[in-house]
Amino acid sequence: MSLEYKIVNVVATCDLGVRINLANYARTNVASVQYNPDVFRAAITRLKDPSSTILVFHTGRLVITGAKTCDTARSQADRMKRLLKIRKAPMSFKVQNIVTTASCHKSINLVALYAQIVTHAQDKIKSVTYEVEIFSGLQIKLNQGCIIVFSSGKIIVTGFTSRSLINECYDEISSFLTQYGSSFIRASSIGI
């Protein structure tokens, strides 16, 4: 079973290297900038097309969220550099988190899945949590990232910082599903 995933959110940080006067930036420069220092010490800029939200701190560091791909995040950082009218070239950019979703198109019995993971996959995972009274999904914490599985067959994978790691993770998931899936996947559920 091959899982096709979609990247839903990319969070990245960037250091522009110069100090920024946030009050000036927020007041006069740009539309769609929120800066309320008594609430939070960063200016919140929202860009469109492609849309993303960027937090600008007075040290010159940025936090970029809401981008749909890593390249988008990178280009947003460039845009911010231009918006802030910063000519300095060096900029350290790092993707911190990539959130992806996928669907295996089959309904999953989470209780059975929990049992299977506990018996078979203990070496790769840090912990498994399935607490129905707390959260309706089954949460698997790996060494670097986290997987959430729902009974509708939808899977969320977050916490990884690069595509290759995500691909690895999804390969592992699909191999686990093909190997042990018969015990927790509803046999007759048909995909779309």
Partner 1 sequence: MGRTCPFCSSSEIDEDPSRADVVCMSCGSVLEESAIVSEVTFQERAGGHDIVGQYVSRDRQQTGLVGVPGLSRTESREVTYQKGRKLIQEVASQLRINQHCIETAFNFFKMSVSRNFTRGRPRSHVVAACLYMTCRLENTSHLLLDFSDVTQVNVYELGKTLSNLTRILKIQLPTTDPCLYVLRFAIMLEFGDKQKEVVTLATRIVQRMKRDWMATGRRPTGLCGAALLLASRAYGFSRSISDVVRIVHISDTVVRKRLDEFASTPSGGLTIDEFASVDLEHSEDPPAFQEARRRAREEKRKKEERDAEAATKELAPVQKEIENALKAKLKKSPYGKLIASSVGEDDVDELSSNIGQMVREEIIDNVYEYADDDFYDDDPGPSSSRRIDCGPTLEFLGVKPNSSIDESVVSEDEEILVDDNDFDDLDDSEIDSYILSESEAKLKSRIWMKRNGPHLVEMERKRKLRQEEEEAKAKDPNRKRRPATRKRDPINAANHSDAMAQVIKEKKLSTKINYDVLAEIENGTLEILDDAPRHAHMTMPKVLKGEQIVEPSSPAREEEVPEAPAESSSPPENPLANLLSPKPAFRRKKQSAMAACLADAAAARMAKAKRALAAAGPPPPLSPTPKRQKRDQSPVKSPPSNPEPRVTRSAAKSKV
Comparing CB distances to partner 1, the nearer of 130 and 170 is 130
Site for partner 1 in 39-78 (CB under 8 A): 47, 49-50, 68-69, 71, 75, 78
| From candidates 10, 52, 137, 161, binder to partner 1 by CB under 8 A | 137
**Minimum distance from CB of 65 to partner 1 (Å)?**
16
In sequence order, the 6+-apart residues with CB closer than 8 A to the CB of 99 are 7, 8, 9, 10, 11, 156, 157, 158
**Minimum distance from CB of 26 to partner 1 (Å)?**
6
180 membership: H or E segment, kind and range: helix 163-184
8 membership: H or E segment, kind and range: strand 5-15
Residue 116 binds to partner 1 (criterion: CB under 8 A): no
Rounded-to-integer distance, Cα 50 and Cα 66, Å: 9
HEC string of 93-105 equals EEEEEEEEEEECC
Residue 29 binds to partner 1 (criterion: CB under 8 A): yes
Comparing CB distances to partner 1, the nearer of 110 and 165 is 110
Comparing CB distances to partner 1, the nearer of 19 and 168 is 19
Residue 174 binds to partner 1 (criterion: CB under 8 A): no
